[in-house]
Amino acid sequence: MLWLRFRLWLSDLRISRLLRWFFSILFLLVLFDAAYLAHIWPDWETYRSGSVQQSSFIQQYIAERKQHKWPRLRWTPVSINRISKNMTRALIVAEDANFYLHDGIDLVAFWAAMEHNIEEKRFIYGGSTISQQAVKNLFLTPSRNPLRKWHELLLTLVMERKLSKKRILELYLNVVEFGRGIYGVEAAARHYWGVSAARLSRNQAIQLAASLPAPTSHNPSTRTRFFQRRVRKITRYF
């Protein structure tokens, strides 16, 4: 009887130690994550208006360009008033039909994307809103991990309350990649068609929007089957 009680006491002691270790590690992880968030947390006033800042993706491209022998950076940020309405409409049709209705997160679109991925048995669409993609491009990295998604979610919810929808569109259209080293719609319009973003036609805007899931592989130059299917799909709803 005494031996059984002793074994139970040892067992309880081990569980107690394990729990203490678990919560200690969890506390440290939360502490480190909070410190990281504090380090990357934007000064929202600098993003509310004025010139568009270089995104983290652009900065990473600059840092890695010579190592990978990528082409020079092409990036010319412009006001949303100098971007064709065709482009903003094509973007919303292609990436986020409920952009003006949600607060940064579209759960309906997310679950629809997950169902499609399950049916196809591969990850095709992430279900991210334009706001989420803007946050990812501006402040985070391309890595796919649960912590990055948590940071993306938190920053998106805050950004939606700090910035207008028009400004979010302006930021995203000026930093999103449209091909290797081609960032922003102005650089893309000039690279592919030799026109300014303000003069993009309906078809040209649709083609740029169609390239966004994987712009280095599927764009107006490569014209892959995937790209052409995207063009047809966006055209139907434009």
User: Is it the case that residue 19 has pLDDT exceeding 50?
Assistant: yes
Domain residue ranges of the chain, discontinuous segments joined by +: 55-66+78-237
Q: What was the pLDDT predicted at 96?
A: 95
Q: How many residues does the chain have?
A: 238
pLDDT of 115: 54
- Dihedral sign, CA of 220, 106, 59, 44? positive
Q: Taking the domain 55-66+78-237, which CATH number applies?
A: 1.10.3810.10
pLDDT in tens, 40-59: 899 999 999 999 999 999 99
pLDDT of residue 117: 44
pLDDT at 56: 95
Q: Tell me, what's the pLDDT at 116?
A: 44
Average pLDDT for 127-147: 88
pLDDT attached to residue 118? 47
Average pLDDT of the segment spanning 118-130? 61
Mean pLDDT, the chain, rounded, equals 87
| Per-residue pLDDT band at 8 (split at 50, 70, 90) | low
How does pLDDT run across 164-201, given as a tens digit for each residue?
A: 999 999 999 999 999 999 999 999 999 999 999 999 99
Residue 110: which pLDDT band, with cuts at 50, 70 and 90? Answer: low
Mean pLDDT for 103-114 is 69
| Residue 69 predicted with pLDDT over 80 | yes
What secondary structure, in 3-state letters, does the chain show? CHHHHHHHHHHHHHHHHHHHHHHHHHHHHHHHHHHHHHHHCCCHHHHHCCCCCCCHHHHHHHHHHHHHCCCCCEECCCCHHHCCHHHHHHHHHHHCCCCCCCCCCCHHHHHHHHHHHHHHCCCCCCCCCHHHHHHHHHHCCCCCCHHHHHHHHHHHHHHHHHCCHHHHHHHHHHHCEEECCEECHHHHHHHHHCCCHHHCCHHHHHHHHHCCCCCCCCCCCCCCHHHHHHHHHHHHHC
- Residue, of 130 and 147, whose pLDDT is higher: 130
Q: Give the amino acid at 215.
A: P
